[in-house]
């Protein structure tokens, strides 16, 4: 591990990217406590050390915590969520795969009003709004240095303009030459913006940033999704050489068709369903929640639009979903905490055409074959 730290010192591009992340995204202040959670592997260890050093430079008080790598279906080390529970002003996760699940939160969720959170991090971030930060699952050095130092003011303007087009909509229709023809409900849904501005308590998202996303209205989305970019699965992200066809009825995935890629996706969903039921039997989920988590493994959990001009499809969903001119849908949990599941699997659609459906049948095209129309 010392080699990773020693090698960091001469990496000027990484040093600059880390400074941009703290200065332009988090806007770190002197004296703020900053917790960085990572794994002892390349490339995430050097990035984490770079952020640690950048935090020291601006007078912040950083702490660096290592744990073994964790998948989407594994628990984080107990010390991770204990450190987050101390409520530092800033929490950063630079993980080779995922941060890991909160064992205590899954067994006894945290409550904020009527909303329950199965992670102390999400509770503090979205519920109490006492922390801020970013998370970069699967990040590499090359991704970090190429997609983090961007024009955040320009990205913020693009996100804001697109958000205004979606506000007040009833539905969104997505089509593509590959065969996607999906209508998702958007009535009264919150529009999330990942523009890289994580300067306020309660704000957070990915770095690299660059997307706008929404949790589809429950039970109303209908149509066909053709994943022709890449897809998250249990063993990692797959670039789809053969498109995956998803059939959607009443907001749920009712069929997964295709070849090897589709089989891998179906296996991932099936494992998540079975694991949720087993976790309830083992007392790791409250009584009755295993069936709910299992059912939600086939929910349509997200529609996102990529807006980062420096991103490209690499088979790494952290950056794939930010690619300008694409959109993505997710299977599993949503961001409104209505469909808790053990998975959230993003699938990329290339060059979509998207129309916002408004009241009285009015339509407004916001993207034409991957090019923004607004």
All domains of the chain in start order, with CATH: 2-142 (3.40.50), 151-372 (no CATH)
- Of 216, 219, 254, 211, which Cα lies nearest the Cα of 348? 211
State whether the Cα torsion 145-75-215-294 is positive or negative: positive
Q: Sheet of 222-227: strands edge to edge? A: 252-257, 244-249, 222-227, 181-185, 171-175, 353-357, 363-368, 371-372
Angstrom distance (rounded) from CA 89 to CA 352: 39
Angstrom distance (rounded) from CA 229 to CA 233: 13
For the chain, 374 residues long, the average pLDDT of each consecutive 10-residue run is 52 96 97 98 96 97 97 92 98 95 95 93 96 96 97 95 95 98 96 96 96 97 98 93 98 97 97 97 95 98 97 96 97 94 97 95 94 85
State whether the Cα torsion 100-117-88-146 is positive or negative: positive
- Of 97, 118, 50, 78, which Cα lies nearest the Cα of 235? 97
Q: Which residues pair with 279 in a beta bridge?
A: none
Half-sphere exposure of 69 (CA within 13 A, CB side): 15
Q: Which residues pair with 163 in a beta bridge?
A: none
Residue 374's pLDDT is 66
């Amino acid at each position: 591990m010392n080699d990773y730290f020693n090698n960091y010192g001469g990496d000027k591009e990484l040093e600059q990217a880390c400074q941009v992340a703290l200065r332009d995204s988090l806007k770190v202040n002197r004296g703020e406590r900053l917790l960085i959670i990572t794994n002892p592997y390349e490339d995430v260890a050097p990035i984490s050390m770079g952020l640690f050093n950048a935090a020291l430079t601006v007078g912040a008080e950083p702490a660096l915590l290592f744990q073994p790598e964790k998948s989407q279906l594994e628990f984080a080390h107990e010390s991770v969520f204990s450190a987050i529970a101390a409520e530092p002003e800033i929490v950063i996760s630079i993980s080779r795969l995922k941060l890991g699940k909160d064992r205590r939160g899954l067994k006894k969720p945290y409550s904020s009003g009527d909303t329950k959170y199965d992670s102390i991090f999400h509770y503090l971030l979205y519920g109490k709004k006492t922390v801020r930060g970013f998370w970069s699952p699967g990040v590499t050095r090359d991704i970090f240095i190429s997609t983090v130092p961007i024009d955040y003011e320009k990205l913020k303007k693009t996100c804001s303009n697109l958000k205004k087009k979606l506000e007040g909509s009833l539905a969104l229709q997505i089509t593509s030459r590959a065969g996607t023809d999906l209508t998702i409900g958007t009535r009264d849904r919150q529009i999330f913006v990942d523009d890289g501005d994580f300067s306020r308590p309660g704000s957070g998202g990915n770095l690299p940033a660059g997307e706008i996303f929404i949790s589809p209205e429950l039970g109303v989305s209908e149509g066909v999704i053709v994943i022709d970019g890449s897809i998250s699965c249990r063993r990692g992200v797959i670039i789809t050489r053969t498109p995956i066809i998803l059939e959607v009825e009443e907001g749920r995935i009712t069929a997964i068709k295709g070849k090897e890629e589709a089989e891998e996706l179906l296996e991932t969903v099936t494992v998540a369903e079975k694991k949720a039921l087993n976790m309830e039997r083992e007392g790791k989920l409250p009584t009755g929640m295993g069936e709910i988590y299992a059912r939600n493994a086939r929910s349509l959990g997200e529609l996102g639009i990529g807006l980062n001009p420096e991103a490209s499809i690499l088979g790494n969903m952290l950056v794939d979903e930010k690619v300008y001119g694409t959109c993505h849908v997710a299977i599993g949990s949503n961001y409104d905490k209505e469909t808790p599941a053990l998975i959230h699997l993003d699938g990329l659609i290339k060059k979509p055409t998207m129309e916002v459906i408004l009241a009285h049948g009015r339509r407004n095209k916001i993207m034409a074959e991957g090019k923004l129309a607004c």
